[in-house]
Structure 1
């Protein structure tokens, strides 16, 4: 984790679970980012209280209203982040937001299936499109050759972004956080084996060690390659 140095990052779904854990861990780094943009569907809601408390104590935490299933919300968030960054780019995009609706084949509905797909897959795609200019700007400003520290850490997408964004100096990987002790992870009634702290520390360690050869891969929170 000590090797991960980013000036700015955006985490979606930052109000609880793994997203909130990521924000907390970045704040605890010896050299925390200058800007931590915390995307949240309902910034003023009860579920965002802990995130609001963090933002009130840390001026580098900026809460961004963001619904990843809504293209207009994504566009507005990209504009707001761009305003804060001025002429600099965004170093790290973590597409963490996701939903889970336990269903059987018999009980699945088109409405629920569409909502899950829109949030978990189309959302990261649209996020990548909207924030690519800022990611490119950070990559172009990175010293040295090769890819910069800009990375899109994705849970639900996809080799395609890694191939399309590689020429711009942006690394894209999919990260599996493990079965984590969050509201979502515990939804099935069982206690998951991995704590939020362990998952987040593991993923940040993986991110800090990434190089060009890992772009387009699917890795778990301990750095193991998962077959596609």
Structure 2
């Protein structure tokens, strides 16, 4: 991770699982970020207790109320982060917040599809829009430098479950709404990479693996990848990302995932 040096990073869905693991690792880096922003729905709730404990020990960790399905919450979070950053920009935005409903083709509903798509796909779109001015500002602070996560980047945490060419794990979980939302997130990443490249912002999707989190374990099987292994792998990948990776889907080991 020697190549990854960010002054500021925001992680959504940071109160548990992969999001919390990312925050913990950013706080342990040799080159500490000046600011680590942890977005979560209920910062004072019981499910954010571990995050609260971290914040009490790390003055550079700021917990930000952020519900990614609520435009007003997103706007308020962007204002809060901008205020904390002062005149500097945001180097790295990691859209990690997501939800899974274990549905099948037979019992899929309009309500489930809408809720999951809003959180997993529309949320990253709106968060990217709201934080774009701060990402642009960070990119402008490194004029002429190549695209990288150290300059300015949006990383969307996706899934190989959204792959059209190789829909992983169908025999274990149909998860129709989740798969559709992640397939759409992959296309959103491609669109963001095309639209934001001129501003010096790198946009990439990452598949974290099938990870031992509450979500990952909800299908009734023990996932093979630990949070520790997933997060360490993803951070190593982030350190090596460049223009050649814009708009692609990579896994936590840096392999290209067909989608």
The answer to whether the superposition gives a TM-score over 0.5 is yes
2:166 aligned partner: none
1:86 aligned partner: 86
Distance 1:167 1:226 in 2: 25
2:68 aligned partner: 68
Unmatched runs of 5 consecutive residues or more in structure 2: 159-184
CA contact (8 A) 1:5 1:31 kept: yes
Residues 53-111 of structure 1, C-alpha deviations (whole Å, 9 max, x = no match): 00011010000000000001000000000000001000000000000000111111111
Aligned length: 228
Shift of 1:2: 2.2
Secondary structure, aligned partner of 1:186: helix
CA contact (8 A) 1:12 1:94 kept: yes
Query: What is the aligned counterpart of 1:178 among 189, 209, 224?
Result: 209
CA contact (8 A) 1:2 1:29 kept: no
Residues 109-135 of structure 1, C-alpha deviations (whole Å, 9 max, x = no match): 111110000000000000110001000
Query: What is the aligned counterpart of 1:150 among 143, 152, 158?
Result: 152
Distance 2:22 2:85 in 1: 20
Unmatched runs of 5 consecutive residues or more in structure 1: none
Secondary structure, aligned partner of 2:142: coil
Aligned positions of 1:39-118 closer than 5 A? 39-118=39-118
Aligned positions of 1:129-148 closer than 5 A? 129-142=129-142, 144-148=144-148
Distance 1:138 1:125 in 2: 19
Q: So what's the TM-score if we normalise by structure 2? A: 0.86
Shift of 1:143: 5.0
Once the two structures are overlaid, the 10-residue window that deviates more, 148-157 or 180-189, is 148-157
Shift of 1:145: 3.0
Distance 1:137 1:54 in 2: 28
Shift of 1:144: 3.9
Q: So what's the TM-score if we normalise by structure 1? A: 0.98
Secondary structure, aligned partner of 1:102: coil
Secondary structure, aligned partner of 2:155: strand
Within the alignment, does 1:21 sit opposite 2:21 as a pair? yes
